[in-house]
Structure 1
């Protein structure tokens, strides 16, 4: 299903690219756009993950530079039976996180310093488990390709404005109408694709992430905190790259731009309600003995110290 969805996405984005090229330069423009789309698809498959990480100046960490955070991701990856992804930290005060990479063998997860400083160990566990669920479902390929192509389509629309606005342009079969369509309709259609994909994948990643970390309420609590903070704390890097907003666990855009009028994520309250319902179902179907066993496992596996909570010292790493 995920492979078919990715193929359909690539086909739609390629057709949209070609359509914009036709509106700008007729058949010749359509063929040029087709070649550009093919090159963009190939480039996105191999390089989009690293490109997104560079957009946010993400710094890779390991067991020596960020032992607690790296160890947490390592434990969650083992729970999910996944290869260990590369782990990154983004120096940004807004709490947020995302995953990227073309497949589980080449995946990366990234968390902001704001996330590590504001959330407890359990809540960070829920967030990173959610991101690993995206890796397991191979959503990361869809997300990174969508971000790259949506940005490219927007750039092509700007190109149409600069070079296609001449009413007497014989290469443009629809004149100014075609230019306006390339400027407005194509980027809007690309945004709708991002919205549709993001809304459907978030619920499944929430559920799987709750299974990986072992407690749906950890992720529910994290979502509430991240959503509240994202409204107050701007993410300037995301504002500069709005085509990547759908990759984050919570929409990082502040609403100051037109891009933020249409949310790329489901309603946070609905996501929290679904996780709370999942927790109730798990409790109903658990026996008293299994609940006790689970509590023991949590006590043994979760450190009593978090990130800057209580009297505990924050872990050493690039965010300290």
Structure 2
């Protein structure tokens, strides 16, 4: 375990949850019966389906299988004070990672091989921590519903009534807001904003050949330039139209959010609390105990 990183014992989701995530989640919870319907109708079936799919067609990581990835996951879980989910590596040409936890019984995380190929080990841990953020914030129920709606909209463009389409828009907005919280979880685990922003840069324009050549400082400036577009009404309107049907905020916006939060008092307060807690775990001789 990296002793330079602070473990955040007792960390709660609301300690780092993004305000937009909190607002969007609160709005969804006000829809009567939505949580219960998704859990009861989709929970056990979806959980079993995805579990079988993963164990049949992916590689499950453990201390015996790709142990370096297993250790990265365990460290991220220790820092975020979370029980480790199952981790699978899946052969796939599209760089992506996702997590699933409907009822909390079989939470798992999947990372595509194409994403691993463009990231450093520290960045891979950042991706793991982002996915752990979904578990920490208990996004599982709404995340599943959002994914189903996106799939249904793709297969059946005229799939629903105006009410259903409105709900789809609300779910997509929630999904984009939830990503901001998970990026914060990645920052808390890596404790280096440049690592998280580098992940986003590589997602925007990386490949195994190009990734080592990318300039992070130039990408950070690009994120700030994107934010400046909001200074005009037309710019803000175009940005809204660009993103309203996306499942994730655009990478430059996510990088800008991390750039800002890494300088905030809230972020540094969490690290300072973790540092004090970690110091209390030291033995009387000044050595470190495993915990």
TM-score range relative to shorter protein: 0.5 to 0.7
State whether structure 2 residue 215 is matched by structure 1 residue 217. no
1:194 partnered with 2:177: no
Q: Which residue number corresponds to residue 71 of structure 2?
A: 71
The one-character-per-residue Cα deviations of 1:178-218 (angstroms, maximum 9, x if unpaired) are: xx7x5574664353133111121111111122112222221
CA–CA distance in 1 between the matches of 2:170 and 2:62? 35
* C-alpha contact 1:44 1:148 (8 A) present in aligned 2: no
CA distance in 2, matches of 1:216, 1:49: 33
- Matched position secondary structure for 2:117: helix
| Coordinate RMSD, CA, aligned | 3.8
Q: Give yes or no for contact 1:154–1:187 (8 Å, CA) kept in 2.
A: no
CA contact (8 A) 2:39 2:103 kept: no
Q: Which secondary structure state, in structure 2, belongs to the residue aligned with residue 118 of structure 1?
A: coil
Residue pair 1:153, 1:186 contacting (<8 A) in 2 also? no
5+ residue gaps, structure 2, are 1-21, 208-242, 276-291
Contact 1:87/1:110, CA 8 A, preserved across alignment: yes
Aligned residue in 2 for 1:46:
44
Output the CA distance in 1 between the equivalents of 2:133 and 2:84: 13
Q: Secondary structure at the match of 2:248?
A: coil
Contact 2:43–2:103 (Cα < 8 Å) also in 1: no
1:275 to 241, 248, 258: 258
> C-alpha separation between the residues in 2 aligned to 1:269 and 1:281?
19
Distance 2:97 2:90 in 1: 9
Q: Report deviation, 1:88.
A: 0.8
Distance 1:9 1:154 in 2: 24
Q: Match of 2:87?
A: 87
* Mapped partners of 1:214, 1:118: distance in 2: 20
- Quote the residue 2:108 is aligned against: 108
8 Å CA contact 2:146–2:172 kept in 1: the answer is: no
TM-score w.r.t. length of structure 1:
0.55
Distance 1:150 1:274, change over 3 A: closer
Are the aligned partners of 1:87 and 1:109 in contact in 2 as well (CA < 8 Å)? yes
The answer to whether the 8 Å contact 1:89/1:110 transfers is: yes
Q: Distance in 1 between matches of 2:151 and 2:95?
A: 24
The secondary structure found in structure 2 opposite 1:106 is coil
Question: Which of the two has higher C-alpha Rg?
Answer: 1
For 1:175, the equivalent position in structure 2 comes to none
- Cα drift, residue 103 of structure 1: 5.0
1:120 matched to 2:114: no
Match of 1:246 in 2: none
Give the CA deviation at 1:139.
0.8
- Report the CA distance shift for 1:269/1:117 in structure 2 as closer, same or farther (over 3 A): same
Aligned length: 213
Q: Which residue of structure 2 lines up, in the alignment, with residue 252 of structure 1?
A: none
Q: Deviations over 1:265-318 (max 9, x none)?
A: 11211110121223344799899xx9xxxxxxxxxxxxxxxxxxxxxxxxxxxx
Deviations 1:137-187 (A, max 9, x none): 0012220133236646877x68xxxxxxxxxxxxxxxxxxxxx7x557466
1:109–1:72 CA distance, 2 compared to 1 (3 A)? same
- Tell me, which stretches of 5 or more residues in structure 1 are unaligned? 15-37, 159-179, 231-259, 291-320
| Cα drift, residue 12 of structure 1 | 5.7
